[in-house]
Amino acid sequence: MRYNSLTLVLLIILLFSSSSLESQVLGRRSSWEAKISSPTKQHPGAKILEIEANSPLEKAGFLPNDLIIEVNGTTVKDGETWTEVSYGLRSEKPVHIKALRGSLKVDASVKFNPLPKEVHLELDTFYEEVTSTYGITQRTIITRPKKSGRQPAIVLIGGLSCSSIETYSGRRGTNWGKTIKALVERSGMVVMRIEKPGVGDSEGDCSTSDFLTDLEGYRSAIKDLKTKSYVDSSRIVVYGSSMGSALAPLLANEFNLAGVISDGTFFKTWYEHMLEIERRILQFQGNTESEIAMKMNKYFIPLYHGMLIQKQTYQEVVDRYPAIAEFNYHSPSHMYGRPVEYYHQLQDFDLAGEWEKVKVPVRILRGTNDWIMSAFDNQIIIDVLKRNGHTDHVLHEYPGLDHWNTIHENPKNSFEGKPGKWDEGTINLIIEWARQIVGLDA
With 0-12 CB in 10 A as exposed, 13-18 as middle and 19+ as buried, what is 254?
middle
The answer, yes or no, to whether residue 14 has pLDDT greater than 70, is no
What's the whole-number mean pLDDT along residues 380-392? 97
| Domain-terminating residue out of 83, 110, 137 | 110
Same domain as 156, residue 103: no
| pLDDT score for 218 | 98
How far is the first Cα of the chain from the last one, in angstroms, to the nearest whole number? 60
Residues 170, 419: contact at Cβ < 8 Å? Answer: no
Residues 272, 279: contact at Cβ < 8 Å? Answer: no
The model's pLDDT over 63-75, given as tens digits with 9 standing for 90+, comes to 999 999 999 999 9
The model's pLDDT over 257-290, given as tens digits with 9 standing for 90+, comes to 999 999 999 999 999 999 999 999 999 999 999 9
Same domain as 251, residue 156: yes
The answer, yes or no, to whether residue 442 has pLDDT greater than 70, is no
Looking at every residue in the chain, the average pLDDT score rounds to 92
| Domain-terminating residue out of 79, 110, 141 | 110
Same domain as 144, residue 211: yes
Same domain as 152, residue 65: no
pTM over 0.85: yes
Strand 259-263 and strand 231-241: the pairing is parallel
What's the whole-number mean pLDDT along residues 185-192? 98
| pLDDT score for 42 | 82
Residue closest to 365 by CA, chosen among 432, 236, 259, 265: 265
Cα–Cα–Cα angle for 302, 307, 313, nearest 5°?
120
The answer, yes or no, to whether residue 5 has pLDDT greater than 80, is no
Indicate the number of domains in the chain. Answer: 2
| pLDDT score for 224 | 98
Distance CA 341, CA 275 (A): 18
Percent of the chain with pLDDT over 70: 93
CATH of the domain at 359: 3.40.50.1820
**The domain containing residue 52 runs over which residues?**
34-110
Residues 130, 137: contact at Cβ < 8 Å? Answer: yes
Distance CA 308, CA 344 (A): 6
Same domain as 225, residue 99: no
| pLDDT score for 133 | 97
Same domain as 133, residue 209: yes
The answer, yes or no, to whether residue 407 has pLDDT greater than 80, is yes
HSE-up of residue 36 (Cα within 13 Å, Cβ side)? 27
Q: Which residue has the higher pLDDT, 40 or 54?
A: 54
Confidence of residue 171 (pLDDT cuts 50, 70, 90): low
Same domain as 127, residue 93: no
Q: Which residue has the higher pLDDT, 22 or 28?
A: 28
The model's pLDDT over 219-267, given as tens digits with 9 standing for 90+, comes to 999 999 999 999 999 999 999 999 999 999 999 999 999 999 999 999 9
What's the whole-number mean pLDDT along residues 393-421? 96
Distance, C-alpha 42 to centroid of its chain? 28
The answer, yes or no, to whether residue 2 has pLDDT greater than 80, is no
With 0-12 CB in 10 A as exposed, 13-18 as middle and 19+ as buried, what is 180?
buried
**Domain for residue 242, yes or no?**
yes
Same domain as 103, residue 219: no
CATH of the domain at 94: 2.30.42.10
Percent of the chain with pLDDT over 90: 85
Which residues 6+ apart lie within 8 Å of 294 measured at CB? Answer: none
Same domain as 211, residue 141: yes
The answer, yes or no, to whether residue 327 has pLDDT greater than 50, is yes
| pLDDT score for 13 | 39
| pLDDT score for 172 | 62
Distance CA 107, CA 69 (A): 10
Same domain as 138, residue 77: no
What's the whole-number mean pLDDT along residues 305-313? 98
The answer, yes or no, to whether residue 81 has pLDDT greater than 90, is no
Strand 46-51 and strand 34-37: the pairing is antiparallel
Same domain as 202, residue 264: yes
The answer, yes or no, to whether residue 403 has pLDDT greater than 80, is yes
The model's pLDDT over 102-137, given as tens digits with 9 standing for 90+, comes to 999 999 999 999 999 999 999 999 999 999 999 999
| pLDDT score for 352 | 96
| pLDDT score for 385 | 98
| Domain-terminating residue out of 86, 110, 134 | 110
Same domain as 244, residue 161: yes
Q: Which range in 70-79, 89-98, 289-298 is most confidently predicted, on average pLDDT? A: 289-298
| pLDDT score for 24 | 67
Confidence of residue 79 (pLDDT cuts 50, 70, 90): confident
